[in-house]
Structure 1
Amino acid sequence: MIDFASTVTVAEYLGERLRQAGVSHLFGVPGDFNLNLLDGLAEVPGLRWTGSPNELGAGYAADAYARRRGLAALITTYGVGELSAINAVAGSAAEDAPVLHIVGSPRTGTVAAGSLVHHTLADGDFGHFHRAYAEISVTTEVLTADRAGEQIDAVVTAARRERKPAYLSVPQDLALHRIPATPLREPLKIASDPLAVRAFSAAVEKLLSAAERPVVVVGQLAARYGLGAQIAGLGVPMVTQLAAKGVIDEGTPGYLGDYAGTMLDPAPAAAVDEADVVLHLGSVQTAELTGFFSARPLDDRTAWTSATAAGVGEQRFENVLFPDAVNAVAAALTDRRFSGGAAGAGHEDGPVGEELTQASMWRMLQEWLPGHSALIADTGTAYWGALSLRLPADTTFVGQPIWNSIGWALPAVLGQGLAEPDRRPVLVIGDGAAQMTVQELGTIAAAGLRPVILLLNNRGYTIERALQSPQAVYNDVTPWNWRALVAGLTGPETDYHHAATPTELDKSLRAAADHPDRLAFIEVELDAYDTPPLLRRLAERATAAAKATA
C-alpha cells in the first residue's frame, strides 16, 4: 500500500501509473542499463514481467496488448535494445496502438561526461536514439531527478490520449531515485475541451438535419476504444474499413460489410457513394484501406473523427477526444432511424473438393471458427484470406493492414492472449512470416496461452509472388521441419498436426476444438502460387497504381 504522504522510487511511481491505466503485464528484454528499473518495477503489486527472446517480438506483443487494454509497456535497454524494437513501435504509431516504450539508459554522469561506453556509437552523443524515436512517438522524455513524476505523467497521458506510442528514457542511476508519491493519489484524467465538443456537436447536427441517406464508415479507432457496440446502435447503415473488421457484429441490422472503395463488394461502395452524409468514425485513408484511393473522398458532406480532433468538411475542432465525438454523433442521431441496403456478398460458399487449396481452406475455417475467439491474421495470404470470412458473434479480428510488417502476428498472439485471457487466439500465418518471429512461440507456451495456430506452408512469400516475379528465387524460404521446431520450442504440451488434404485439415481443426487446454499447431500444405481472391485483386490494383505513377 502506497503512503501518499511519503516517497516512492521512480520505478514504483511509473509502475503505479501503469497499473492505474489498466496495464498488468510488462513486455521486453533485460539489459544492464534497465536492470535497476526492472528490479524497482518488481516491487509493484499487480505487474507481471513477460520477457521475450528479442525486442522486436516484445514490441509486437505490446502492440496487440495496447489495442485491447488502451496502453502497453515495452521495456528495453539503451541503443541495441531500443533499435531492435523500433520497427514494432513504428507499426504501433501507424496502427494507433498506445505503447509506452521505456528505455533504461546510461547514468546521468556518464552522459554528462560524454563517456565512450558500450551500446553507443562511440562518439559521445547520447541523443541519437532519442531523436530517432521522436519521429514515431507523440512525445518523448529523458527523465531528470527534479521532474521525474511530471515526466512520467506526461508520457502516460500522451500515449493514452493520442492512442500512439510515447517514449521515456530512464537513466540507470534514477530508476531507484525517490520522488514524492502524492500525485499518485489521483489517477491521471484525460478530457476533451467542452467548448470544442459543443461546437462539433452543433456542426454534426447541422450536417444531419436534412440527411436522408447517411452512412457510417467505421475505422480502427473504434476498436482501440472498444466502442463497436455503441456505434452499432446508432441506427444508421454502416460499413467497416478493413482495419476495423469485426468491430461491428456482422449480424447487426444495417451492417453492409467491409469497405475499401471499389476493390471489395459493390454494395458497401455504392452505399457510401450514394450517401448524402458520410460519418467517418476513426477511419484512415491509406491506399489499401481505400482500395487504392477508389473510396469516396472526404468532402463538405463528411464528418470525421480522429483520436483528439473532429470536424465537418474543412471545419476542424481540436481537443475533441474520440469517445466524445462518437457521443456527439449519437446525440445528433437520437430518435432517428434510417433504412439500409443489403449486406455484401462476403464469403463465397461452395464444395470443398478433394484438393486443399486457399479457397477450400478458408471455407473450412469459416465453418469451424468458434465465437468469442480472437482471429489474428498476419500480412499476406493470411490477412487477405481472413478478410473473406464472416465472423461469428463476439469475435475479435486482429490484423495490421497499414504497417504490414510480416511476422507481426505470431508475437501478437502473446499480447492479445494476455490482454483478453478469456478469448482463445486463432492465428493464421504464412511460413515465411513465421520464420521471422517463431521464437515467440516458446514465450506463448510458457505464458500458459493455448492458441490454435495455422501455419500456411506455401514455401515462401506468396504475397510477394502475387505482386511481382512469382518464380524469383528471393521469394523462396528455406524449408523447416516444423514438427521438430514446435516440439523444441513448446515441449510435449503442444498438439502438432499436418494437413495436406481437406480431410486432414478437418480432423486437425476438430481436434483443436476438442482440446482447448492444449496449444494446437496445424501445418497446412498449400501450393506456392495459390492465393485468396482478395489478394489477387490487391495485386491487380497495386500493379495498376504502379503503372499509373511510373
Structure 2
Amino acid sequence: MSDIRTQSLQKPVTVAEYLFRRLHQIGIRSVHGLPGDFNLVALDYVPKAGLKWVGSVNELNAAYAADGYARAKGISALVTTFGVGELSAINGVAGAYSEHVPIVHIVGCPSTISQRNGMLLHHTLGNGDFHVFANMSENISCDVAKLVKPSEIAYQIDHAIRECWIRSRPVYIWLPTDMVEKKIEGARLDTEIDLSEPENDPDREDYVVDVVLRYLHGAKNPVVLVDACAIRHRVTEEVKRFIEKTKLPVFVTPMGKGAFDETSEHYGGVYAGTGSLPEVAKRVEGSDLVLSIGAIKSDFNTAGFSYHTSQLNTIDLHSDHCTVRYSEYPGVAMRGVLRKVTERIDMSKLSITPSPPVENAVAENRDDSQAITQAWFWPRVGEYFQEGDVVVTETGTANFGIWESRFPKDVMGVTQVLWGSIGWSVGAAQGAALAVKDLEQDRRTILFVGDGSFQLTCQEVSTMLKHNLRVTIFLIYNEGYTIERYIHGMDADYNDVTRWNYTDIPAVFGAKEGQSQKFVIKTKDELERLLKDKDFNEYKGLQFVELWMPKDDAPRALKLTAEISARTNSRIEDEQ
C-alpha cells in the first residue's frame, strides 16, 4: 500500500526536504537549534534546501537567537529535539509568542511506532505519554502540526507556516523520526505558500473607516502613537504614508521604538506615561484624540500603567480588531483601515499642531565628573548611531535608557519589553546580526547589555565568532541587577553578581587573531575618544566594550517604573 501511494505521487520528495524547502521559499536562510538523536536525520536535509545550520551552545540561546533573527528578517526557524531540547527552548519561544514574533519551531520526536508501543524511551517522562511536551507548547503556539499522516503532511506544513506569518507568532511542528524520509507530494512546492493577509469585509471596513475619519476630522489636536504590533504585523509603511500625507505629530512607545523615522520633523519622541519627558507627556496627554497603532499596553511599556489618556479620546488599531472609543470592531484589521483612512482623509478638515523637537540632549546631561552616568550616556550613544544600525537592548537599564537616544534614519530597535527574559538580548543580537548577514546588508548590530544579564547567556558570543558576525557589545559593568535593585533590595547580595574578566570572553570562546577587539572604558573622555574613532566605527568583526558605570545609577525612566512596580508588587488584597 505504501508503494502504491508513493507511485501515485507526481514529484515525490521526503518530508524533511519539503519542510526545509518551504522555509527557504519564505525567506529563511539560516536555521537555529541544536542536534539531538530525534532530529539528526532531518538535519541532513538543511543544507540540501539551501539553508545554513547555525548551531548554538544551548536551546534557550537558540530560541533567543531565532527571536532576534525573525525581528530582523521577518520570520525564523528553530530545530530542537524532543523533551529535553524543546523544554530548554520553551522560555524563548514563549517570549516570541508574547511579543508577536514568528518562529517555526520544529521538534524531532520518537517514531510513531515507538509511540504506539509506549516504549520507555530516553527524554520521556517514563509514563508513555509522548504528547505532554507538545501540549505544553500548544499554549505558546498559534498552530500545532503533528506530522503523522503522510497524505496530510504537506498541507499541515503549509498551513503552519502561513499561520506563523499571518498571525506573527510561533508555530510548533512535531516531526517523528519515521516520518522524516517518508515521500509526499512535492508538486506543491512549485506554488509558493500564499502569505497574503485575509482582507477585511469591505462593508465593515468602510464603516470603521468612516467612524475613524469622523473623529479625526473633528479633533482639535490629534496625535499618532505607534507601538510594537505595528512593527510585528508589518504596517510601518502604511504608518509612514499616513504621516507623510497628514503631517500629524507621531510618537512611539518603548516597544515601538524604531517603528517611525526619528529624524522626521513629525516625530515627537517616546511616550510611556509618567516615564515620558515632560514635553512629550504634555503633548500626548493634552491631545483630544490619540490614534494608537498596534498597542501593547504592558507595565514596562507604559511605565507602570501610567498612561494619562482617556479611552474616550482613543482609537486603537490592531491586527485583528479595531476599537474606537468604547466600541470594538472584531475582525477588522488595521492595514486595510489605515490605507483607506490615508486615501480618504480630508486635509481641509484636519487640525495639525507641530511635534515637540527631539534631539540627543548630550550637553544638558553632562556633569563635571568623569563617571559615565546613565543620563549622559544614552543621548551620547544616540550621536554615535549611524543610519541603518540594528540596536539591541536588554531588559533593564538599556531598555529604559534607550528612550533617551534619538535614532538616525532606518535604525532598527530590537528590545523585549513585555516578556523581559534576562539575558535574551545576547542571543537576539546574534540572531539579528545573522539576519543582516543573510540579507547581505552592511549594517552594524550594536548590543547594550548589563553584566548580570550577560552572565546568563554569554556563550552566544561563541556563535557570533563562529559565523564572523559584525557585533559591537557594550557591556554595562555596574556590579549586578540594577533594575531589581530599584524594585527591591538596593544593597541585597542577591542582586550582586561575580566579577568576571569580561573582555577575555572573546578569546575564551575562540576568537582568532584580528577577529575581535576589546576595550575597557571607565571615563567620559575615554568613551568620547572611542565613539569618535574611525576604526571602531567601521570595524567588521566582534567588538567588546566593558563600560564602567556607577552601581547605584539608573536611567530616569527606570527609576520611575521600578518605583511603581515595587508598589504594585507589595499590594495586598484589601488594597486592590
TM-score by length of 1: 0.94
Please say if 1:457 is aligned against 2:477: yes
Contact 1:200/1:310 (8 A) holds in 2: no
- Tell me by how many angstroms 1:263 deviates: 2.5
Out of 321, 340, 351, the residue aligned to residue 353 of structure 2 is 340
State how far apart, in whole Å, the 1-side matches of 2:61 and 2:38 are. Answer: 20
Give the residue type in structure 2 aligned to 1:491: K
Q: Provide the secondary structure at the position in 2 that maps to 1:146.
A: helix
State how far apart, in whole Å, the 1-side matches of 2:564 and 2:387 are. Answer: 33
Please say if 1:255 is aligned against 2:259: no
Instruction: Output one character per residue of 1:305-347: Cα deviation in whole Å (capped at 9) or x when no partner.
Output: 3333334345444444443343233234364654234326664
Contact 2:80/2:106 (8 A) holds in 1: yes
State how far apart, in whole Å, the 1-side matches of 2:427 and 2:489 are. Answer: 29
State how far apart, in whole Å, the 2-side matches of 1:204 and 1:274 are. Answer: 24
Identity within the alignment, %: 33
- Tell me by how many angstroms 1:365 deviates: 1.7
Please say if 1:122 is aligned against 2:130: no
Aligned residue number for residue 237 of structure 1:
249
Matches within 5 A, 1:91-106: 91-106=95-110
Using a 3 Å threshold, how does the CA distance of structure 1 residues 177 and 114 change in structure 2: closer, same or farther?
same
- Tell me by how many angstroms 1:509 deviates: 2.9
Q: Tell me which moved more, 520-529 or 246-255.
A: 246-255
Using a 3 Å threshold, how does the CA distance of structure 1 residues 80 and 330 change in structure 2: closer, same or farther?
same
Aligned residue number for residue 72 of structure 2:
68
Using a 3 Å threshold, how does the CA distance of structure 1 residues 155 and 288 change in structure 2: closer, same or farther?
same
Aligned residue number for residue 26 of structure 1:
31
Contact 1:399/1:409 (8 A) holds in 2: yes
Matches within 5 A, 1:510-549: 510-511=532-533, 513-547=536-570
Aligned residue number for residue 383 of structure 1:
399
Q: Tell me which moved more, 539-548 or 162-171.
A: 539-548
Contact 1:281/1:326 (8 A) holds in 2: no
State how far apart, in whole Å, the 2-side matches of 1:497 and 1:436 are. Answer: 21
Matches within 5 A, 1:179-190: 179-190=184-195
Please say if 1:134 is aligned against 2:138: yes
Instruction: Output one character per residue of 1:135-188: Cα deviation in whole Å (capped at 9) or x when no partner.
Output: 111111211123111111121111111111111110011011110012222222
Give the residue type in structure 2 aligned to 1:507: R
Q: Tell me which moved more, 444-453 or 504-513.
A: 504-513
Out of 211, 218, 242, the residue aligned to residue 211 of structure 1 is 218
Unaligned runs of 5+ in 2: 1-8
State how far apart, in whole Å, the 2-side matches of 1:382 and 1:200 are. Answer: 40
Give the residue type in structure 2 aligned to 1:504: E
Aligned residue number for residue 42 of structure 1:
47
Instruction: Output one character per residue of 1:335-381: Cα deviation in whole Å (capped at 9) or x when no partner.
Output: 46542343266643323542222233334323322222111111111
Aligned residue number for residue 418 of structure 1:
434
State how far apart, in whole Å, the 2-side matches of 1:57 and 1:377 are. Answer: 16
Contact 2:14/2:183 (8 A) holds in 1: yes
Give the residue type in structure 1 aligned to 2:57: P
Contact 2:60/2:92 (8 A) holds in 1: yes
Contact 1:221/1:283 (8 A) holds in 2: yes
Give the residue type in structure 1 aligned to 2:446: V
Aligned residue number for residue 376 of structure 2:
360
Using a 3 Å threshold, how does the CA distance of structure 1 residues 250 and 467 change in structure 2: closer, same or farther?
same
- Tell me by how many angstroms 1:527 deviates: 2.0
Contact 1:271/1:341 (8 A) holds in 2: no
State how far apart, in whole Å, the 2-side matches of 1:185 and 1:451 are. Answer: 38
Using a 3 Å threshold, how does the CA distance of structure 1 residues 108 and 449 change in structure 2: closer, same or farther?
same
Q: Provide the secondary structure at the position in 2 that maps to 1:116.
A: coil
State how far apart, in whole Å, the 1-side matches of 2:165 and 2:49 are. Answer: 21
Give the residue type in structure 1 aligned to 2:170: P
Out of 317, 321, 342, the residue aligned to residue 309 of structure 1 is 321
Aligned residue number for residue 491 of structure 1:
512
State how far apart, in whole Å, the 2-side matches of 1:129 and 1:50 are. Answer: 24
Aligned residue number for residue 475 of structure 1:
495
Aligned residue number for residue 91 of structure 2:
87
- Tell me by how many angstroms 1:192 deviates: 4.7
Instruction: Output one character per residue of 1:216-274: Cα deviation in whole Å (capped at 9) or x when no partner.
Output: 22111222244434313322222111101121111223322111123212333344434
Aligned residues: 546
State how far apart, in whole Å, the 2-side matches of 1:280 and 1:22 are. Answer: 30
Contact 1:377/1:427 (8 A) holds in 2: yes
Give the residue type in structure 2 aligned to 1:496: K
Out of 169, 172, 196, the residue aligned to residue 174 of structure 2 is 169
Using a 3 Å threshold, how does the CA distance of structure 1 residues 308 and 184 change in structure 2: closer, same or farther?
farther
Aligned residue number for residue 14 of structure 1:
19
Please say if 1:432 is aligned against 2:471: no
State how far apart, in whole Å, the 2-side matches of 1:491 and 1:305 are. Answer: 50
Please say if 1:51 is aligned against 2:63: no
State how far apart, in whole Å, the 2-side matches of 1:330 and 1:167 are. Answer: 37
- Tell me by how many angstroms 1:19 deviates: 1.6
Aligned residue number for residue 285 of structure 1:
297
Instruction: Output one character per residue of 1:488-508: Cα deviation in whole Å (capped at 9) or x when no partner.
Output: 213332101111112222333
Q: Provide the secondary structure at the position in 1 that maps to 2:218.
A: coil
Contact 2:378/2:405 (8 A) holds in 1: yes
Please say if 1:150 is aligned against 2:155: yes
Give the residue type in structure 2 aligned to 1:343: P
State how far apart, in whole Å, the 1-side matches of 2:528 and 2:298 are. Answer: 37
State how far apart, in whole Å, the 1-side matches of 2:554 and 2:15 are. Answer: 52
Using a 3 Å threshold, how does the CA distance of structure 1 residues 287 and 304 change in structure 2: closer, same or farther?
same
State how far apart, in whole Å, the 2-side matches of 1:142 and 1:63 are. Answer: 23
Give the residue type in structure 2 aligned to 1:278: V
Q: Tell me which moved more, 521-530 or 314-323.
A: 314-323
State how far apart, in whole Å, the 2-side matches of 1:297 and 1:362 are. Answer: 27
Q: Tell me which moved more, 347-356 or 390-399.
A: 347-356
Give the residue type in structure 2 aligned to 1:218: V
Using a 3 Å threshold, how does the CA distance of structure 1 residues 64 and 328 change in structure 2: closer, same or farther?
farther
- Tell me by how many angstroms 1:408 deviates: 0.7
Aligned residue number for residue 385 of structure 2:
369
Aligned residue number for residue 529 of structure 2:
507
Aligned residue number for residue 220 of structure 1:
228
Instruction: Output one character per residue of 1:459-499: Cα deviation in whole Å (capped at 9) or x when no partner.
Output: 11111111111111111111111132221213332101111
Q: Provide the secondary structure at the position in 1 that maps to 2:280.
A: helix
Contact 1:191/1:321 (8 A) holds in 2: no
Give the residue type in structure 2 aligned to 1:523: E
Using a 3 Å threshold, how does the CA distance of structure 1 residues 251 and 130 change in structure 2: closer, same or farther?
same
Contact 1:196/1:318 (8 A) holds in 2: no
Give the residue type in structure 2 aligned to 1:419: A
Q: Provide the secondary structure at the position in 2 that maps to 1:170.
A: strand
Contact 2:275/2:556 (8 A) holds in 1: no
Q: Tell me which moved more, 338-347 or 416-425.
A: 338-347
Contact 1:205/1:332 (8 A) holds in 2: no
Using a 3 Å threshold, how does the CA distance of structure 1 residues 439 and 26 change in structure 2: closer, same or farther?
same
State how far apart, in whole Å, the 1-side matches of 2:25 and 2:336 are. Answer: 22
Contact 2:102/2:170 (8 A) holds in 1: yes
